[in-house]
Amino acid sequence: MGLAQNGATREVAAGAPPGKGKEARGGPMLSGEDLLRLYLAMVLVRVLDQRMMTLQRQGRVGFYGACTGQEAACLGSAYALRENDWIFPSLREGGAMLLRGFPLLPYVCQVLGNSGDPTKGRQMPSHQSARSVRQVSWSSCIGTQLPQAVGAAWAARRQGDELVALAYLGDGATSSGDFHAAMNFAGVLRAPVVFLCQNNHWSISLPTSRQTASESIAIKAVAYGFPGAKVDGNDVEAVYAATAEAVARARAGGGPTLIEAETYRIGAHSSSDDPTRYRDPAEVEAWMAKDPIDRLRHRLEGLGLWEAGREAALQAELQAQVAAAIEQAEALPKVAPETLFDDVYAEEPWNLSEQRRELTRGLAARRRPSEPSKAV
């Protein structure tokens, strides 16, 4: 199942019995313990996304981008990384942070943008990031994270660091100039980076058929001199296997890989989108029958690691966890305006200090009760 070194593309499938114990984490196979952990993480992301979309419709959240239908592509790939590897995400990879140990409460606080948000409310919702789990902040500009990932990977290699950068993108990003720049840069320099394209068939309202004339996304790697692989993005084992192999190759000095994980966005592009205006409901129904969570659950049941009777209890437990995190997050105050000047410079210059004092005085004046008007 080796990747070609000359830029050839291939199909990847999984389904063989998983490996045993922790030794399987370093290779293309997953143990039953790994599969169970991934299943729980995928269900948590699905429950969280459903609640966040509800909050957005209620006016309690300004914006949200759900991962629904793409959980296997997101989490299966992230699971192939080491702790010191970096993720350069696009819109739907926040769940990778939770998989890698980021706490649920500050995750929800980022969506709300309140004082519990480690990034101090400075980013859009669904743009989570945290140095603690090595996930970079996404900028919303399509494709900009790709050359950033290549640069970080190349710099790490020059410094003797064995880390690998995993850069996520959607099919729409392959039409951006940054995609070309990143792919060319990575190929020439053989940077230790893996590009993971979640081809969900829609770049907002534009179908993939109008996005590119190529027979696949993966084949685009050929032009840049490195391997491409196309996988079933709804098969978490296939995604993990392809990513683990590409990550190992990058870490060993073999250079980059482009992986196309074919999946489907079940819901809207974001809370600002209405997919009923451009998608055939029959298409959505057909892909819902390929739900990656259902697929993994059936796999676990076949291995004797899950019983149907446990599903209701799991749903109740995760719903309670998410509800508790939302309740705690909404009880926290807003971000203090004075934090506007924090983290700008390592040593604050005089002009910024002057602006800080001016803002503080203005806020204090606004907070004081106004004096009663004098009678005429």
pLDDT digits (tens, 9 = 90+) for 234-249: 999 999 999 999 999 9
Count of H-run helices and E-run strands, the chain: 11, 8
Report the candidate in 57, 124, 49 with the shortest Cα–Cα distance to residue 89. 124
Kindly tell me if the per-residue pLDDT of 11 is higher than 70. Answer: no
pLDDT reported for residue 29: 84
Report the candidate in 196, 192, 206 with the shortest Cα–Cα distance to residue 256. 192
The per-residue pLDDT for range 147-160, each reduced to its tens digit, is: 999 999 999 999 99
The answer to whether residues 329 and 350 touch, using CB atoms and an 8 Å cutoff, is: no
Q: Which amino acid is at 261?
A: A
Report the candidate in 318, 270, 264, 316 with the shortest Cα–Cα distance to residue 43. 318
Q: Average the pLDDT over 66-79 and give the result.
A: 97
Confidence of residue 199 (pLDDT cuts 50, 70, 90): very high
Give the position of tokens 């959607």. 170
Buried b / exposed e along 137-153 (16+ C-beta atoms within 10 A): bbeeebbbbbbbbbbbb
Buried b / exposed e along 71-86 (16+ C-beta atoms within 10 A): bbbbbbbbbbbeeebb
- Annotated active-site positions, please? 265, 269, 278
Handedness of CA 6, 10, 13, 16 (dihedral sign): negative
Q: What is the CATH number of domain 9-330?
A: 3.40.50.970
pLDDT reported for residue 366: 87
Residue 270 CA to residue 267 CA, distance in Å, equals 8
Q: Average the pLDDT over 92-96 and give the result.
A: 94
Percent of the chain with pLDDT over 70: 90
Q: Which of the given ranges, 14-23, 34-43, 365-374, has the highest pLDDT on average?
A: 34-43
Residue 227 CA to residue 314 CA, distance in Å, equals 40
Q: Average the pLDDT over 328-335 and give the result.
A: 96
The per-residue pLDDT for range 336-375, each reduced to its tens digit, is: 998 999 999 999 999 999 999 999 999 999 877 665 555 4
Kindly tell me if the per-residue pLDDT of 276 is higher than 70. Answer: yes
The answer to whether residues 290 and 297 touch, using CB atoms and an 8 Å cutoff, is: no
How far is Cα of residue 243 from the mean position of the Cα atoms in its chain?
A: 15
Residue 5 CA to residue 255 CA, distance in Å, equals 9
pLDDT reported for residue 15: 39
Residue 138 CA to residue 165 CA, distance in Å, equals 14
pLDDT reported for residue 25: 37
Q: Average the pLDDT over 180-185 and give the result.
A: 98
Confidence of residue 140 (pLDDT cuts 50, 70, 90): confident
pLDDT reported for residue 231: 97
Kindly tell me if the per-residue pLDDT of 105 is higher than 50. Answer: yes
- Pair of tokens at residue 27: 């290779």
Contacts of 12 (CB under 8 A, 6+ apart): 1, 229, 230, 231, 232, 238, 241, 242
pLDDT reported for residue 7: 42
pLDDT reported for residue 229: 97
Q: Which of the given ranges, 25-29, 259-263, 338-342, has the highest pLDDT on average?
A: 259-263
Element (H, E) at 10: strand 9-12
Q: Which of the given ranges, 4-8, 23-27, 367-371, has the highest pLDDT on average?
A: 367-371
**pTM to 2 decimals?**
0.88
Confidence of residue 255 (pLDDT cuts 50, 70, 90): very high
Q: What is the mean pLDDT of the chain?
A: 90
For residue 56, count other CB atoms closer than 10 A to its CB: 21
